[in-house]
Structures are given as structure tokens and as C-alpha cells.
Amino acid sequence: MPEPSQDAAGGAPRHARRPGRAGARAAGLAALALASLGAASLVPMAVGEDTAVPVTTAPAERRAPARTPTPTPTPTCTPAPLEQRAAATLVVGLPGVRSADDPLAQEVVALGVGGVFLSEPNVDDAEQVAALTAGLRAAAGRPLLVSTDEESGRVALMRDVVGAGPSPRRMAQRETPEEVRARAARTGTALAAVGVDLDLAPVLDLDDGPAGGVIGDRSFSADPATAAAYGLAYAHGLADAGVTPTVKHFPGHGRSTVDSHRESSLVEAGVDELAATDLLPFQQAVDAGVPVVMLNHLQYAALDPELPASLSPRAYALLRDMGFEGVAITDSVGMGAVNLRWDFPAAAVAAVGAGADAVLATDGRQAVRMRDALVEAVRTGALPEERLSEAAARVTALAGGDAGAMSCLDVELPSFGPGAAGAAPDAVPPGAAPTRVP
């Protein structure tokens, strides 16, 4: 999710260029990335403030065979109204809102958004947050995702609720994966107690550069195996407490020193290099059954140099070809890397068209315009209704709602709860043991 702006002058991150034991997967990931280059089906265009996004559909035979089938339609079923399905794909922030009685809170909930996002301005203390989330759900009268961004360290939007904690980098230096899992479970317990059920963490990006860099100490490690071991430990700890984790920022943000809050950036690394490093932690997370993956706003020469990953059909195709069956969510589309080229409504249409299931926007005042743009795009044929229905079904299922009633689709999300297959590693892979710091 949206990271605090950092001065990129802190220096370039350093990546581990030798994947070690994880290198056995590099060739397969490279093949998937290459296959995804022919998978572009919906290509968004930069537009003006009130212009819809035209999209075109490429021949189906160009798309790499997806391992995840599209959810199956339920026979003789009438889906929810188009407006409701469109709203269900949105996860929006509530600027300045601290009570469910606030007009913006009431507007967003009445619209039927799939979820809300809480940040520091929404937080006084645990009692107030619990009342806010309970009030939002009561007003909604349906399952509603309540999300936040609690990575520990400098990105900790619920610090006043869960307490301060070390950065992910420091966790990996001082603690074992088991200890990190226990720490994350305590964080998850505190979040669940105030009604938060989706955390936009942990970071799986690779970076051992300056701590204050765009990613910096938010990364567990520059080594893919270590980053995967600790990231999955944190994710499983949250899940142990009943909070859904989100791994980010696919397909890897650590190579860029540019803050995508401000501007876009092109990652020049080739397919083989990405496959041998950045993609490996995400592949392990997908294999473990992680339920939510966030896509970043960087552009990748190996995928699509003209579009940020969050709006790139090739990036979503690569993620699905890696076996991901869960909810793909964008980073906030209000960030400069997107918002300077696409306004909120256009970004929503482009993201869903490219393959996003959930569109994150930290400004809920844009929700009505985004919903309306999605509806109009379907009605004009710019966005396939089947794609919108699929996205709405996945987000609804994640929230615990009835995906069939929403979209007439049978959706099964990955299993990642306590005791699920692919539990957090028992130890750091050989050669990646943490350095104990007294």
C-alpha cells in the first residue's frame, strides 16, 4: 500500500544477484515472464479528467495458458446490478473520518464498496477504531473488508493500536522466522480486536540498500530465500490471528529508487534477472496459498515499458501464470505514478480491465466517480462485463460474502489460514541464518 514518501537520494538498493538454492526456479519463472509478453489483452490509455478508457481485446490465442480457470458461471442465476458489482471492486480510504456517522463514511458504505482502508488520521485509540469499524459494518449490513497497512517499523498505520515494532530488516537480523510469526500473530490479534481483517503487508521486495530508501528497511532481505522465509512467517502470523495478509509489491519494487507516490520509474532488468531474484519470493508465497497480492506502479521493460504493473495486462497474466488464484489488488491509484497520467475513474477501469480484482484508492471521495466509470465502461463495451463480474466475485468472497449472489460465479480462494498447507518455514534456508543482535 501507499508508502510514506522518501527522498530517493538515499542511494540505490543492492540486490542479491546469486539466488542460491532458489535458482532452480529461475528458468521456469523466466519462461512464465516470456509467455506473459504475449498475454496483453486490455491496454489502457492515458486520458483526461472525464474521459473513459478505451481498451482493445487481442486474439485469445496470444494469451499464455492460464493455470487458474475463470470462475464458472452458476446456471439460471441473475447477478447483482452492475452498479453493485462495480462498487464491490473498490477499497477506499476515509480521509479524516473517525466515526461511522461521518457523511463520507455513510456515502461510501451506501455505495457498496468492497472494503475501506484505515490510516493514521482515522485512529485515536483502540476503542475509537473498534467503534468505527463496528459502525461501518452495521451500516453496510453485509460483509465489508476493513484494511490497513501495518508492516511494523516505519510503515505502521495502526501503531497507536498495536504498538511500535522493529522494521522487517531488523526482524530478519535479530529474530528467527518462528519468532517473527509469533510477533505478527500478536499484531494480528490487536488488529482483529478493533475490527481490521485485511493487512496490506508483508513486503516481499528485495532490498539491502539504505534503510530510509523507498523500500529500504521495509524489506526483510535482498536474498530471495530469506525474504520469502520471513515474509511468509509474518503472513502466517497474521493469518493465525484471523487477519488476511497481503504480499507486495509484485513483481518486486526493490530495484527502484524512485518513489512512485511522486512519479513513474522504469525497471530495466531483463526477464532472466527478475526470475532469478525478485519473482522468487512471490512464487513461494503463491505456492503457499497466499490470498492477496498487491501490484506496484513501476514499469518493467521485461513486461510492459509503457504501463505501470498495476495497469499492465502482462503483469497480471504473469501473476496468474505463476498459479495465483486469489485477489489481485492495486497499490493506491492516487499515487503520482498513476494519477499524473490517469485520473481516478480512468485508473479504475484500466486496472480492472488489465486484471485487478480490487482497486485501492486512499481517497474515498473518488468512489462514486470510480464506480460510475466502471459501469459506463461495461455499458459501452470498453470493459468486458465478465471481467468485472470475476473481480467483484473474488473481492466478495475475500470479504466473506456470497460470490455467487454477487456475480453468479463459483469462486474458491486459496487456503492460508492457521494450519493451512505451506505453513511458514521452520528455519531460514541454509546460508541465510539471521545474525543475532543483542
* Among candidate residues 345, 259, 376, 318, the one with its CA nearest the CA of residue 28: 318
Q: Which of 197, 223, 321, 331 is catalytic?
A: 331
Report whether 348 contacts 44 (CB < 8 A). Answer: no
CA atoms of 249 and 261, how far apart (whole Å):
14
Q: Is the peptide bond before 236 cis (omega within 30 degrees of 0)?
A: no
CA–CA distance from 175 to each of 98, 182, 188, 402 (Å)?
A: 36, 10, 18, 40
Please report, as a single letter, which amino acid is at residue 347. A
Please state the separation of Cα 287 from the chain's center in Å.
Answer: 17
Q: How far apart (Å, rounded) are the C-alpha atoms in residues 100 and 110?
A: 12
Q: 433-437 long-range CB contacts below 8 Å, 24 or more apart?
A: 434/172, 434/173, 434/174, 434/175, 434/176, 435/173, 435/174, 436/174, 437/170, 437/173, 437/174
Closest CA to 58 of 329, 384, 389, 414: 384
Q: Which of 261, 343, 357, 363 is catalytic?
A: 261
Q: Is there a contact between 119 and 91 (Cβ–Cβ < 8 Å)? A: no
Q: Is 306 helix (H, G, I), strand (E, B) or coil?
A: strand
User: Would residue 261 show up in a list of annotated catalytic residues for this protein?
Assistant: yes
Q: How many CB atoms lie within 10 A of CB 160?
A: 15
Does residue 236 have an active-site annotation? no
The C-alpha atoms of residue 278 and residue 205 are separated, in whole angstroms, by 7
Give the CA dihedral 220, 221, 225, 226, nearest 10 degrees.
-60
Query: What is residue 343's DSSP assignment?
Result: -
> Which stretch of DSSP H or E encloses residue 328?
strand 327-330
Give Cβ neighbours of residue 109 (< 8 Å, ≥ 6 apart): 100, 116, 136, 139, 140, 144
CB of 278 within 8 A of CB of 254?
yes
DSSP string, 213-249: SSSGGGSSBSSHHHHHHHHHHHHHHHHHTT-EE-EEE
What's the rounded Cα separation, in Å, for the pair 103 and 270? 48
State the catalytic residues. 261, 331
